[in-house]
Amino acid sequence: MEMIDTAIILAGGLGTRLRPLTYNIPKPLLPIKGQPIVEHAIKNMAQQGIKKIILSIGYKSETIQEYFGDGKKWGVHISYSLESNPLGTGGAIKKALGNLNQPVFVVWGDNLMDINYRELNSIHQKYKKLVTMVLTEREDVENFGVAKLEGERIISFVEKPKREDAPSNLINAGAIVLEPQGVKKIPQEQFSIEYDYYEKLKPGEIIAFIHKGQWFPTDTLEKYKHAEDNFKPKL
C-alpha cells in the first residue's frame, strides 16, 4: 500500500492566547521538552516516511523559516506557504496545496500528538472518502465538538454537549487526510474548514481514525504548561 508522502502543518496563528510568550517567539517555535512544538510533529512525520512537508505560516514567518530551513536536518523537504493576511484554516490549506493531485495529511500545528501515520494512511486507503479525520478520546467532552459515529463513519458533530448527552467520547484531534477532490471544494477566499466545510459534506463522507496515543493541545497558557509537564517525546 502506497504511503502518502506529503503533509501540511497549519502554523500561521498569532498565538494571542499564549501571550506574553508569543510576543517574541512565534507559537510554532515555543519549546516543549526543549524542542519547538512543530519540530516534534516534523520528527514524527519523518520517522514514518512522510518526505515533503509544507509549513503554512504567517506571524514571524522569517524566524520560523530560519529555524527549519529546507528540512534537510530532519531528512525531509520543507517548503513554505506564507499568509500575508489571515485566510482561515480552509483558505490556508487551499493556498498551500493549490492543484495538488494526491491525498495529503493536514495537521493543526498547535497540538502535540504521536499519531501513527502509517495506520492512518491504511484506514484512508481502505475507504477513499474525501476526508479521514483523527479523533481522540477525552473525558471533558463538554469543551469540544464530539463526533457521532456509525461504524467508522462520522455522521455528525455535537458541539460541547453535556457529558451525559454526548454521543461518544471522541473529539476532533486536529489532523485529517484530505483527498484532492476535497481540496477543490474549498473556495479561494477566507474560509474555515472546521466551521464551513465539514458540515457541508454528506453524512458518512468523513471516516474516523481513532488515535490512542498522546494528545496535548497547547493553545492557551494553561494547556501549554500541562503539555510541557506531561508530554513524553518518543524520539
Q: Is residue 128 part of a domain?
A: yes
Task: Tell me what pLDDT residue 124 has.
Answer: 93
Q: What is the CATH number of the domain that holds 214?
A: 3.90.550.10
Q: 234 pLDDT exceeds 70?
A: yes
Q: DSSP string covering 143-210, please?
A: GSEEEEEETTEEEEEEES--GGG-S-SEEEEEEEEE-HHHHHTS-SSS--HHHHTGGGSPTTSEEEEE
% of the chain at pLDDT higher than 90: 47
Q: Is residue 40 part of a domain?
A: yes
Q: Is residue 136 part of a domain?
A: yes
% of the chain at pLDDT higher than 70: 96
pTM recorded for the entire structure: 0.91
Q: Is residue 235 part of a domain?
A: no
Task: Tell me what pLDDT residue 188 has.
Answer: 66
Q: Is residue 201 part of a domain?
A: yes
**Which residues span the domain enclosing 92?**
6-230
Q: Is residue 86 part of a domain?
A: yes
Q: Is residue 1 part of a domain?
A: no
**pLDDT tens by residue, 180-219:** 877 777 766 676 777 677 777 777 789 999 999 999 999 8
CA distances from 44 to 92, 118, 125, 231 (A): 22, 11, 20, 14
Domain count of the fold of the chain:
1
Task: Tell me what pLDDT residue 223 has.
Answer: 92
**pLDDT tens by residue, 130-152:** 889 999 998 888 888 888 898 89
Task: Tell me what pLDDT residue 1 has.
Answer: 65
